Structure 1
Amino acid sequence: MTTSDPDSKSGLFVDENTSSARGNSPSDPISTIVEEKPKQTWRSYIWDTFDKPREERRFLFKFDAIVMTLISLGFFIKILDQFNINSAFVSGMKEDLQLNGNELNYMTSMYTAGYIIGEIPSNILLTKIRPSVWIPACEVVWSVLTILLTQCKNAQQIYALRFFIGLAESPLYPGIQFLLGSWYRKDELAKRACIFHASGNIAAMFSGYLMAATYNLEGVHGYHGWQWLFIINTVISLPIAILGFFFLPDIPEITKAWYLTEAEIALAKRRMELEGRANRQPYTLAKLRKIFTSWRIYLLTLIYVLFSNGNGYGGQPAFALWLKSRGYGVYKVNTYPTIQYGITVFFTLVFGWTSDSLFRGGRWQPMIFTGILNIAVNISLAVWDINVGWKWACYCLGLLGVGLSGIAFAWAHDICTDDNEERALVVAFMSTFAQVVQTWLPLIIWQTVEAPQYRKGFISSVFIAVLMMGCALTIRWLQRRQEAEKEKEKREGGV
């Protein structure tokens, strides 16, 4: 095997036969990093670590087992908190608190408003302070606030709590997406981002089953079934939040994770060097000017706004409300919609695997596929008077595009790889402005009083899908131009 000094332009690292020249033993994990882009065989289509050197494989297995489990549980409890308001609404809260207007819209909007305010400041903070402290602390706060929903007597009290819950939850999703991009390489990232996101779809499924189960607790200790949902939610969430203080790893540059050896931390840093991931730098006026005069922050934010507002029915439990309008009981209204979340989990993982392996880091292909499907589904639902079986199919497939979130963030990390602060800011802008639009758009096109026939929402989703596909193709063209310019600079620099 060819050897090279680590500072050479080839990107190669020494192999085990020459490691002694650098003072590394054959078991040194860094000595096993032998090339900038690992060669892929059929095994990498199953799981990317199978083609990597032994020590790197061991490191990734340990890191995946600990960190992916923790962050997936964290997102699970976040989405459980977020979706339980919908489950509670269709399971007695609406009647008990006499919520007969668009109160659910306002509850969603207040949550979103708090979320928006917190995201960008939080991600800026994450480039300066330890995520292992900030993110778990916020998780603890929202877990405690959730149980206070049981004491609400009117919609206004729920609005206030939902705002602060959204504020406390805002660091988690963009913060974890930033962390993932700080540890994983291009052929690994989309899978992990999609696994992380899929845990939220599992939480949405679990919320329905949990509500169906807690409905049987109606009247126990004087609480309604929907109130028990929030109590159990906190019992689940709080221990997971506390675990974050012990297991969240920070970024490789500053990590003090007790479960990683010094050699493994050095390996993690070297992997990011080979990937072109920049270390932390101060926010300067020149840096900010560079970020805000580039196409990257604007188009990556736009595509995430389009993705986020073109999937998910504006936060409305559309499938559940349609079932309720057809006379289905509480148990079926809560459990049947879990079918769509199961389908979404499956396709989320398909998107991650195909993006990393089949498309070799291509992120635009799943967006085109989902856009075409969204057009077909939403046109059908806008027509409304269609075959009942096909309507069931449309609702079951209607959330499939939610799985694109991990793909979008992986794409942002690929494009902004050489500037740590730009990555953090772009990720925060993507999530924040998607939420900004979600604050007001559902109040116009996804009004609860129009349920279950959200004609304006279905028609709008068709146009959003078209715009998303156009934006994806534009970003791909600009990315190719950016990559060509970098290659040109490398060639000229080597002359």
Structure 2
Amino acid sequence: MLSWRKIREFVWGEVPSSKEERTLLLKLDWFILSYCCLMYFTNYLDRANVNNAYVSGMKQDLNMYGNEFNRINTIFTCGYIVGMIPNNLMLQVVPPRIWFPTMQIIWGVLTFCSSAVHSVQQLYVIRFFQGMSEASTFVGTHYILGSWYKPGELGKRSGIFTSSGLIGTLFSGVLQAAVYQNLNGVDGRSGWRWLFIIDGIITLPIALYGFFVFPDVPATTRAFYLKDEERLLAYERLDSDTVHHKLSWNLFKRVLSRWRWYGFSLLFGISGEVESFGSNNLMGQWLSAIGGFTLILSDYYPSGVTAFGIVSTLVCATWTDYTRARWPVLVYMCVCCTIAAICILVWSSPIGLKFFAYYLAGAAYAGQATTFAWANQVCAGDDQERAVVLASMNMWNNAVNAWWPLLFYAAPDAPRFKKGMITMICTCAATLAVTWLVWHLERRERHRGGARREEKSQESSAAS
């Protein structure tokens, strides 16, 4: 029979050895995860609400035509890409408890501004700067999680954080329906304008919460809820071999002379595209094309893809903390998405099998938290390199994602997306290959590090 400690370790990560460390971990979980998850929730809510606003009257009010909506998303992505590395490096200069909430206030104010635009060109400018400010959240939080948590604790926390964004996607549709039904036309404003206003109202209080409770990083924390001995414990319980460099141009030499930047950027640049089933709402397009479903059901059923993604993310993250192996999650993700693509590629397959395939493809979301936890773990010895690697992973993924759907999931190919399904199978195969490469390079580095430590130990013994 499993002991309570084993169950606790499997569900919530490595169990601290002392009561003091358990209390510390409880405080960190509450204050770090509560703020970061709420921040990411509003981040995703903002992105999803642009899509909701477009189909709820914004297109007509702003006289949008052609590819203008696609340009809005492309311009946002450009700002997001530009902002990623600078945002993560600013966490080395400005305390995170100041930087994160400040960026959140900026994108909250810009969200309010979106409710007052009278032309799509004004929205272009707003969305670019929103992309730059929102770039602080995802990679910045993964950097913070890697600064506070041990490898055996990191996967589950990364999974919870990632899932909060997916929950924001689920909630956005509900919010859009409620706002449009109850506020459309109130005070002379269209429902889509109220959608942005409500979004901003949700965002700003969470930013203020961050100013008060976010604990920075262990070396500099002054959080009111941590005792002096807890601050010291937070610092000492992590890897003492971590090097804290001053920010300088030498950073780029360190990063580019190691395999980690290349390996993890390539890994997430490719594996992130396995999420294309959900991010391009392929199931929704399929349901609309085949008919027989009401508009409400066509909006409702694809939520199952996100829901399965949340479950997969949390289960896989829990498993990786228990086993300390990250790569099997990527194998699981690729196997599921390959099966899904084959089921859809065989277009004569029954509708029930296609439902199963689309929902199974939600497993793609599980790789996100695991891949960033893996990079955090490998780069733990150099804070600045870790910040750049994490930011670059998401930067390259977004750089690929800016053109990927246009080539492989273009609207004229709906609902079969034959080219997209073949590409999905190839992407899964490429992800498996790069996963093996990263695993091999990490293993080789670990063995070389162990050999060097053994040599130093032998030299010390001989000298004494």
Asked whether the equivalents of residues 278 and 362 of structure 2 are also in contact (C-alpha less than 8 Å), the reply is: no
Partner residue of 1:331 out of 296, 303, 309: 296
Pick the aligned partner of 1:388 from 351, 365, 368: 351
Say if 2:262 is the partner of 1:280.
no
Counterpart contact for 1:119–1:171, Cα < 8 Å: yes
261, 264, 268: which is aligned to 2:227? 261
* Higher alpha-carbon deviation: 385-394 or 315-324: 315-324
- What is the distance in 1 between the residues matched to 2:402 and 2:439? 29
What secondary structure, in the 3-state scheme, does the structure 2 residue paired with 1:41 have? helix
Mapping for residues 176-325 of structure 1, pairs under 5 Å? 176-217=141-182, 218-274=184-240, 276=241, 278-284=242-248, 286-313=250-277, 315-325=279-289
Mapped partners of 1:148, 1:459: distance in 2: 42
* 1:166-190 C-alpha deviation (Å, 9 max, x unpaired): 1110111111110000000010001
Query: C-alpha displacement at 1:398, in angstroms?
Result: 2.6
Give the deviation of 1:127 after TM superposition.
1.5
Question: Shift in Å at residue 353 of structure 1?
Answer: 0.3
In the TM superposition, what is the alpha-carbon distance from 1:122 to its structure 2 partner?
A: 1.2
Partner of residue 63 from structure 1, selected from 10, 22, 28? 28
Residue of 87, 109, 124 corresponding to 2:89: 124
Percent identity (aligned): 33
Conserved? CA contact 2:145–2:154, under 8 Å: yes
Question: How far apart are residue 340 of structure 1 and its match?
Answer: 1.7
Q: Deviation per CA, 1:365-400, whole angstroms, max 9, x where unpaired? A: 000010111111123334444321222222223332
Confirm or deny: 8 A CA contact 1:67 1:249 kept in the other structure: yes
Greater displacement, 364-373 / 209-218? 209-218
Matching residue of 2:50: 85
1:45 CA drift (Å): 1.0
Query: 396-405 or 258-267, which moves further after superposition?
Result: 396-405
CA distance in 2, matches of 1:350, 1:308: 19
- For residue 32 of structure 1, what is the aligned residue in structure 2? none
- 3-state SS, counterpart of residue 237 of structure 2: helix
Answer whether contact 2:254 2:385 (CA < 8 A) is retained: no
* Structure 1 unmatched ranges of 5 or more: 1-39
- CA distance in structure 1 between the partners assigned to 2:418 and 2:26 by the alignment: 47
Equivalent-residue separation in structure 1 for 2:188 and 2:329 (angstroms)? 49
**One-letter amino acid matched to 2:168:** A
Change (3 A) 1:107 1:449: farther
Q: Are the structure 2 counterparts of residues 78 and 339 from structure 1 closer, same or farther at C-alpha, using a change threshold of 3 Å?
A: same
**Which residue type is aligned with residue 436 of structure 1?**
A
**1:446-489 Cα deviation digits (max 9, x unpaired):** 33454444333332222111111111111111111111111111
Return the alpha-carbon distance in structure 1 between the equivalents of residues 256 and 351 of structure 2: 49
Q: Give the drift of 1:216.
A: 1.0
- Contact kept, 8 Å, 2:243 with 2:383, in 1: the verdict is yes
- The residue number in structure 2 matching 1:48 is 13
- Please report the RMSD computed on the Cα atoms of aligned residues, expressed in angstroms: 2.1
Partner SS, residue 215 of structure 2: coil
Matches of 1:414 and 1:440, distance apart in 2: 31
SS in 2 for 1:151: coil
Distance 1:410 1:176, change over 3 A: same
8 A contact 2:76–2:131 mirrored in 1 = yes
The question of whether the paired residues in 2 share the 8 Å contact of 1:174 and 1:431 is answered with yes
Letter in 2 for 1:267: L
Post-superposition CA distance 1:276-316 (Å, at most 9, x none)? 4x142124455432320211100101111112222134843
Equivalent runs, 1:332-351 vs 2, <5 Å: 332-351=297-316
Cα distance in structure 2, aligned partners of 1:329 and 1:417 = 50
Give yes or no for contact 1:314–1:446 (8 Å, CA) kept in 2.
no
Report the Cα distance in structure 1 between the residues aligned to 2:158 and 2:422, rounded to whole angstroms: 30
Change beyond 3 A, Cα 1:272–1:266 = same
Once residues 103 and 382 of structure 1 are traced to their aligned partners in structure 2, the CA distance between those partners, rounded to angstroms, is: 31
Q: Secondary structure at the match of 1:140?
A: helix
- Tell me which amino acid in the other structure corresponds to 1:106: R
CA distance in 2, matches of 1:74, 1:87: 20
Q: How many positions carry a matched residue from both structures? A: 452
2:419 partner amino acid = K
Helix, strand or coil: the match of 1:312?
Answer: helix
CA distance in 2: counterparts of 1:287 and 1:147, whole angstroms: 38
The TM-score with structure 1 as length reference comes to: 0.86
Which range moved further: 51-60 or 435-444? Answer: 435-444
Conservation of the 8 A alpha-carbon contact between 2:12 and 2:156: no
Tell me, yes or no, if the aligned pair for 1:371 and 1:466 is still in contact at 8 Å.
yes
Match of 1:175 among 127, 140, 149: 140
Instruction: Give the equivalent residue in structure 2 for 1:364.
Output: 327
State the 4+ residue runs in structure 1 displaced beyond 4 angstroms. 94-100, 284-287, 327-330
Q: Aligned match of 2:433 in 460, 466, 470?
A: 470
Task: Name the structure 1 match of 2:462.
Answer: none
The letter for the 2-side match of 1:79 is Y
Cα distance in structure 2, aligned partners of 1:420 and 1:228: 42
Deviation at 1:58, TM superposition (A): 0.6
Q: CA deviation at 1:105?
A: 2.8
Q: CA deviation at 1:50?
A: 4.1
Q: Bigger shift: 185-194 or 48-57?
A: 48-57
Check 1:42–1:313 CA distance in 2 against 1; reply closer, same or farther (3 A cut): closer
User: 1:435-450 maps to which residues of 2 (within 5 A)?
Assistant: 435-450=398-413
1: CA distance, partners of 2:210 / 2:419? 42
Does the 8 Å contact 1:384/1:453 carry over to 2?
yes
In structure 1, what is the equivalent of residue 421 of structure 2? 458
Tell me the equivalent position of 1:107.
Answer: 72
How much has 1:144 moved relative to structure 2?
A: 1.5
> In structure 2, do the counterparts of structure 1 residues 86 and 295 end up closer, same or farther at CA, with 3 Å as the change threshold?
same
1:295-344 residue CA offsets vs partner (Å, 9 max, x unmatched): 11001011111122221348433333333342645533433322222111
Mapped to 2, the partners of 1:314 and 1:230 lie a distance apart of 23
Q: Which amino acid aligns with 1:129?
A: V
| Letter of the 1:270 counterpart | E
User: How far did 1:263 drift?
Assistant: 0.7
Deviation at 1:125, TM superposition (A): 1.5
Q: Distance in 1 between matches of 2:439 and 2:359?
A: 30
8 Å contact from structure 1 (residues 305, 433) kept in 2: yes
Distance 1:388 1:305 in 2: 32
Letter in 2 for 1:308: G
